[in-house]
């Protein structure tokens, strides 16, 4: 499950590296920026950059100043530099004719990992766009910052304005406005099969005005205003509705779309006829992703670069009473599975979708269990909680829990670990599956990550009787001692054994130490279908017959 929490989106898996570049949110100020050589910085909207993004960075230079002046941006507490060509884009306004230079430089060592100079010829009348795509030098340092400088004498006693600076590495699958490669590869390598987005709290927002508005997350980046996020920082919405679907395309994931249903985190519940505008908003969203290019929203999607609809099958709503009937052409809606978080009242959304949809209940699993066996469910958030880092005993407990879900797959249709990604030292929830720091090789593969990968890459496609002699076994040892196992699988002579474990149940993989190794894979033989092996203390294993 993905949600922009713990800087998992902006500053995390999304590729853009400069923080606060659009000056969005309730009170953006100069967060992440510092002046270079006496320049004076302020956020200014006297000449709006765009309707959606009125603010820009005003850099003023005192009369008589000389030398190089400018500003720096620390990124999201560091800028990862992976050695790939980086795309840099910036809009500039002001009376300036001369060279400007931007570099990526370590704060501690002063090493420079990119140095790009370009010529600027601008006036105060309008913003002009500049673009470069230089090669960078790989670094494992986590304190690299972005620095933009220019000749003070050319603008002494005046100002230059900078708007929407953007810096992207070569993105995952080389997408425009795409994903950062290192965390994206970590997610892709799990081998999961669906992506739930944009996440519950992000969708709801701290209030109705700051909910996730899908129509403000599509189109040109200059037209996306962003909003104040649910977790204490602004969301720029550069990872928008269409980018989530591209993420699914690139990782071959089934899209699981959350839609707003009238509830926000300040306690607001919109119901009845007051909800009609929000219902219309959802219907336009579904038309955008499902409609062909002859429909109004489908045509807008095509205009934004995607001709074909996306194959949406799963949609989540907060409750099944919150969406009221609206006049919507049902031929736009293929067979949709509707997931509902709260069960109350009549199936009004089902009435709207008619025979095109059926209902599945949505569960969060934090120490609770599913008791209603008459309904189908999805486990929307699963994982150890209450600790800072995933530990071995928590990961073993997850491995003990999940086979029960698989064996009841007629009722449990899916399970998602949450939260997925977190920036170390800047998180609002713990533990997380994939913590990271701002360097391309600073991904933490937690014990829970390896457990999720084992299960995802060894998922069953059929539930057999207990006497089945085919397939694989998922095993977990929650004892403090090794266990000798004999498993008989008639007719099988060879198997692959993957074991994840550590004899210390409190062991954790953190950003500067990783005692828990990836699963160790071995090949074992049997002459009579009886496989014997030792399962270490506090371990998870998969025995897969060939």
CA distances (Å), origin 486, targets 156, 515, 524, 530: 81, 28, 12, 6
Whether 484 is covered by a domain: the verdict is yes
**Range with the lowest mean pLDDT among 131-145, 183-197, 314-328, 366-380?**
314-328
* pLDDT value of position 338: 75
Q: Which of 406, 393, 516, 517 is nearest to 458 (CA)?
A: 406
Sign of CA dihedral 508, 509, 513, 519: positive
Domain boundary residue among 134, 168, 202?
A: 168
* pLDDT value of position 323: 46
Whether 245 is covered by a domain: the verdict is no
CATH number of the structural domain spanning residue 530: 2.60.40.1180
Domain count, the chain: 2
* pLDDT value of position 405: 84
- Average pLDDT score, the chain: 89
CA distances (Å), origin 502, targets 15, 382, 480: 34, 22, 10
Domain boundary residue among 168, 190, 207?
A: 168
Greatest distance between any 2 Cα atoms in the chain: 90
Domain boundary residue among 168, 199, 218?
A: 168
* pLDDT value of position 333: 58
Query: What is the mean pLDDT of the segment spanning 421-426?
Result: 95
Query: What is the mean pLDDT of the segment spanning 275-294?
Result: 91
Query: What is the mean pLDDT of the segment spanning 295-299?
Result: 95
* Residue whose entry in the numeric block shows the structure tokens 């879900």: 405
Q: Which of 39, 25, 61, 75 is nearest to 423 (CA)?
A: 75
**How many C-beta neighbours within 10 Å does residue 236 have?**
28
- Please determine, for residue 304, whether its predicted confidence score (pLDDT) is greater than 90: yes
Strand intervals (E) in 140-211: 144-151, 159-168, 194-197
- Please determine, for residue 346, whether its predicted confidence score (pLDDT) is greater than 60: no
- Please determine, for residue 356, whether its predicted confidence score (pLDDT) is greater than 60: no
Whether 87 is covered by a domain: the verdict is yes
**Are residues 304 and 219 in contact, defined by beta-carbon separation less than 8 angstroms?**
yes
**Range with the lowest mean pLDDT among 112-121, 144-153, 155-164, 390-399?**
390-399
Peptide bond preceding 431 in cis form (omega within 30 of 0): yes
Whether 528 is covered by a domain: the verdict is yes
pLDDT, tens only, 153-204: 999 999 999 999 999 999 999 999 999 999 999 999 999 999 999 988 999 9
CA angle 529, 533, 534 (to 5 degrees): 160
Measured distance CA(277)–CA(121) in Å, rounded: 46
Measured distance CA(202)–CA(197) in Å, rounded: 9
pLDDT, tens only, 386-397: 889 999 999 999
Phi, psi dihedrals of residue 301, rounded to the nearest 5°: -60, -45
pLDDT band at 532 (very low <50, low <70, confident <90, very high): very high
* pLDDT value of position 205: 95
pLDDT band at 534 (very low <50, low <70, confident <90, very high): very high
Whether 123 is covered by a domain: the verdict is yes
Whether 483 is covered by a domain: the verdict is yes
Whether 427 is covered by a domain: the verdict is no
Q: Rounded to an integer, what is the distance from CA 425 to the centroid of its chain? A: 18
Whether 525 is covered by a domain: the verdict is yes
Q: Which domain holds residue 499?
A: 472-545
Phi, psi dihedrals of residue 250, rounded to the nearest 5°: -70, -25
* pLDDT value of position 342: 53
* pLDDT value of position 467: 54
* pLDDT value of position 412: 81
**Are residues 538 and 501 in contact, defined by beta-carbon separation less than 8 angstroms?**
yes
Strand intervals (E) in 211-370: 227-228, 234-235, 254-258, 314-319, 336-342, 357-364
Q: Which residue has the higher pLDDT, 478 or 90?
A: 90
**Are residues 433 and 421 in contact, defined by beta-carbon separation less than 8 angstroms?**
yes
- Please determine, for residue 219, whether its predicted confidence score (pLDDT) is greater than 80: yes
């Amino acid at each position: 499950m993905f949600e922009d929490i713990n800087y998992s989106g902006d500053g995390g898996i999304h590729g853009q590296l400069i923080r606060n570049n659009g000056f969005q949110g309730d009170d953006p100020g100069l967060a992440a920026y510092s002046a270079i050589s006496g320049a004076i910085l302020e956020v200014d909207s006297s000449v709006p950059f765009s309707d959606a993004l009125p603010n820009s960075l005003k850099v003023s230079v005192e009369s008589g100043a000389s030398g190089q002046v400018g500003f720096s941006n620390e990124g999201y507490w560091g800028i990862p530099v992976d050695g790939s060509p980086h795309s840099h884009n910036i809009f500039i306004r002001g009376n300036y004719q001369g060279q400007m230079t931007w570099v990526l430089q370590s704060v501690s060592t002063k090493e420079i990992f990119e140095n790009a100079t370009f010529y600027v010829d601008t006036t105060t009348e309008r913003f002009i766009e500049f673009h470069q795509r230089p090669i960078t030098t790989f670094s494992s340092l986590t304190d690299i910052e972005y620095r933009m400088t220019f000749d003070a004498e050319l603008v002494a006693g005046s100002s230059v304005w900078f708007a929407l600076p953007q810096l992207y590495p070569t993105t995952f699958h080389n997408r425009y406005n795409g994903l950062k490669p290192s965390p994206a590869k970590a997610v892709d390598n799990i081998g999961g099969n669906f992506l739930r987005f944009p996440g519950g709290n992000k969708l709801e927002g701290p209030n109705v005005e700051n909910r996730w508005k899908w129509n403000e997350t599509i189109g040109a980046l200059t037209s996306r205003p962003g909003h104040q996020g649910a977790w204490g920082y602004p969301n720029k919405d550069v990872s928008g509705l269409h980018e989530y679907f591209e993420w699914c395309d690139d990782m071959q994931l089934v899209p699981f779309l959350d839609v707003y249903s009238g509830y926000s985190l300040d306690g607001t519940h919109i119901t009845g006829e007051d909800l009609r505008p929000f219902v219309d908003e959802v219907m336009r969203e579904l038309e955008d992703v499902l409609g062909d290019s002859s429909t109004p929203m489908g045509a807008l999607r095509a205009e934004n670069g995607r001709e074909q609809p996306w194959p949406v099958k799963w949609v989540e709503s907060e409750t099944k009473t919150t969406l009221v009937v609206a006049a919507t052409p049902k031929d736009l809606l293929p067979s949709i599975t509707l997931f509902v978080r709260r069960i109350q009242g009549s199936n009004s959304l089902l009435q709207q979708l008619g025979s095109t949809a059926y209902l599945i209940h949505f569960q969060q699993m934090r120490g609770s269990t599913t008791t209603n066996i008459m309904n189908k469910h999805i486990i929307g958030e699963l994982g150890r909680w209450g600790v800072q880092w995933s530990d071995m005993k928590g990961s073993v407990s997850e491995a003990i829990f999940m086979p029960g879900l698989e064996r009841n797959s007629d009722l449990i249709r899916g399970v998602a670990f949450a939260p997925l990604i977190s920036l170390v030292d800047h998180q609002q929830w713990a533990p997380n599956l994939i913590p990271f720091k701002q360097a391309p090789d600073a991904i933490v593969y937690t014990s829970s990550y390896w457990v999720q990968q084992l299960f995802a890459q060894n998922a069953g496609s059929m539930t057999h009787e207990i006497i089945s002699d085919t397939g694989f076994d998922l095993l977990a040892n929650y004892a403090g001692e090794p266990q000798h196992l004999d498993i008989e699988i008639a007719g099988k002579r060879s198997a692959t054994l993957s074991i994840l474990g550590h004899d210390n149940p409190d062991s954790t993989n953190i950003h500067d130490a990783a005692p828990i190794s990836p699963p160790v894979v071995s090949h074992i033989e049997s002459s009579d279908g009886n496989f014997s092996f030792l399962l270490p203390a506090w371990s998870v294993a998969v025995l897969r017959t060939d």
